[in-house]
Amino acid sequence: MPGESKMRYKLNQEKLKELEPIFYPRSVAVVGASVNEQKTGSQWLKGLISSGFKGELYPVNPRGGEVFGLRIYRHLRSIPGPVDLVIVCIPRASVLRVLGDCAAKGIKAVYFFTAGFRESGETEWIKVEEEMVRRARQGGFRIIGPNCFGVYSPEHGIPYGPFNLHAEIGPVGFISQSSGHVGKILEFGMTRGVGFSKAISLGNGADLGSADFLEYLALDPRTNIIGLYVEGARDSRCLFETIRAASEMKPVVVWKGGRTPAGARATASHTGALAASADVWSGALKQAGAIEVQGLEELADTLLLFQRVGRLERSNVSIICGLTDGGGGEAVLGADACAALGIEVPALIEKTRQELVKFLGEVGSVLCNPVDLSQRFGDPQALERAMELVAAEPYIDVIVMYENAGVILGSLLKERADELNNTIVNFSQKQSKPVLVVLPPGPAEMRRLEIERMLSHAGIPVYPSMERAAKAISNVNRYFRRNAGSSKAQKRL
């Protein structure tokens, strides 16, 4: 790790107290809300109202008036009660005036949807961003952003951005320099069953950065898994030391944006992030104990498996395929995808193999692992018996079902297809070994999505390809192998 010191960084418990008003504010002021309900500031206010925000709400606009039944205050100083958090949605030329009011009002934190500062590359606005931070320091409050959507705190009724985006409440905390990536990961959560404790988009990170929020989430009792999208860091030593300390307690899954020259140029104009070698980042992240991923899909896949499966200290996989015909090819595909990542697909013991032969037969079946059920086409009883036999194998840790939904839905009655999937659900709920389902897209996409939602609702992780399922298994297993001696990590999941 670059510049590694001999002393390990210790997480500061005071960070919880300092940032708590950002996620659990008693009151929120929205600067830029107006009588025009379609304006961004007004939409932000509307989202807070419809999400059931638990505190006081104060729209602020120099023109005054009323919106959504709330009085619009002409400036922050005129608000009668205390204000913890301020959301700013006004032109950039006016932000410095707002900061003076924040200091006078005793605000705890402010985040700026307003953009056009460091990321513009213009000297004038880079200096304005620096002045914003100086005034925040002087006024005793913190800044999130600028150029961001701020925080998502579903437990406290704070939606993500002005679009009122919600996902399930759960154990995942997510930090991102990109507002769009937070929105997308929340959408993944809504469709695939990832639940979030909190999410933060920090944009330019002029004041509070990734390390600050990472430290908070590492200490947050409501967060067990942390995802991080980062384009660059003002203080790489601080970030990597915080990752190291956090990953000893909880999984930290990191996606580094801007790994290529083209990506690095994009990050500079996106959040003003400084470029660094992809190899340097990868080496430092590995040394810090993070699980590095290479894109939004792998990030979501890995967070999903951490949440649904938890501890996975070994990764010996059994694959069951051929729920319809064509299981031989599925068996090869699954075995190759696992082997490419060092995941074992061990042969079954002779006793188990003989039991499989009894109801599957020798001819046309693969019985060594993967297990091919083609000879009992669409038979729920055969599927259940195969899963029971595989789960009883002491060296099998994960069971992966490969379900070709297009063929199943095209060749079986809906009732029989439902019975197969209900068999998988019932089996997963009555034994302890994790069950994953690979459900590739196909011609019956709408019905396939219904199956995916049903399985996800039952707590079963669903992946669109064997390669993505295998990668998630490898990532989760790697964390637990790396942290095998950490008592803190053992207790979390």
Q: Over 50: is that where the pLDDT of 172 sits? A: yes
Residue with tokens 């002045």: 131
Query: Residue 268: what pLDDT?
Result: 47
Question: What sign for the dihedral angle of Cα 157, 162, 168, 172?
Answer: negative
Which CATH code for domain 317-482? 3.40.50.261
pLDDT exceeds 50 at position 1: no
Q: What is the overall mean pLDDT for the chain?
A: 89
Q: pLDDT tens digit string along 307-356?
A: 999 888 888 999 999 887 677 889 999 999 999 999 999 999 989 988 88
- Model confidence pLDDT, tens digit, residues 30-54: 999 999 999 999 999 999 999 999 8
pLDDT tens digits for range 201-218: 999 999 999 999 999 999
Q: Are 217 and 173 in contact (CB under 8 A)?
A: yes
Q: Is the pLDDT of residue 2 over 50?
A: no
List residues bridging with 398 in a β-sheet.
317
Residue 131 has pLDDT above 50, yes or no: yes
pLDDT digits (tens, 9 = 90+) for 64-111: 999 999 999 999 999 999 999 999 999 999 999 999 999 999 999 999
CATH fold of 14-144 reads Rossmann fold (3.40.50)
Query: DSSP 3-state assignment of 290?
Result: coil
Mean pLDDT of 352-377: 80
pTM: 0.90
Res 8: pLDDT = 60
| 150-309 shares the fold of 14-144 | yes
* Cα 105–Cα 214–Cα 181 angle in degrees, nearest 5: 90
pLDDT band at 485 (very low <50, low <70, confident <90, very high): low
Q: Is the confidence at residue 488, as pLDDT, over 80?
A: no
Report the CATH superfamily, name and number, of domain 150-309: Succinyl-CoA synthetase domains (3.40.50.261)
* Phi, psi (deg, nearest 5) at residue 49: -65, -50
Exposure string for 360-381, b = 16+ CB within 10 A, e = fewer: beeeebbbbbbbbbbbbbbbbe
Computed on alpha carbons and rounded to an integer, the radius of gyration of the chain in Å comes to: 25
Q: How far apart are CA 400 and CA 381, in angstroms?
A: 18
User: pLDDT for 177-192, tens place per residue?
Assistant: 999 999 999 999 998 9
Question: Does residue 460 surpass a pLDDT of 90?
Answer: yes
What H or E segment, with its residue span, contains residue 255? strand 252-256
Which two three-digit tokens encode residue 181?
Answer: 């990536």
- One-letter amino acid for residue 463 of the chain: Y
Query: Domain limits of the chain?
Result: 14-144, 150-309, 317-482
